[in-house]
Amino acid sequence: MRDILEEVGVTAEIAIVADNDVSQGIIKTAPEYDLIIIGASNEWAVRQWLFGSIPDRVANHVSVPILMVRSKD
């Protein structure tokens, strides 16, 4: 991913955050960054229906801008 960003002239820090709860891991780490980019997924539709999507939960708890992206497929 870093190579792709550099090819188009974007300098970014990429972080991998380990947590038992994905949204909580992002929420705890978010204040350290200027922008959070989250990949959208159609996987786990039932889980999202029951508990809400990760981007929705994150967006409700952080003041950092969030960009949700989908693959081109």
Range list of H helices, 1-72: 2-7, 22-29, 45-51, 54-59
Residue identified by tokens 């929705």 is 56
pTM for this entry: 0.66
pLDDT at 45: 59
pLDDT tens-digit map of 8-61: 988 877 778 889 988 899 999 999 988 888 876 665 555 565 556 777 888 889
pLDDT at 61: 92
CA 16 to chain centre: 10
Amino acid at 55: P
Contact 24, 52 (CB under 8 A): no
pLDDT at 57: 84
CATH 1.20.1260.10 matches 2-69: no
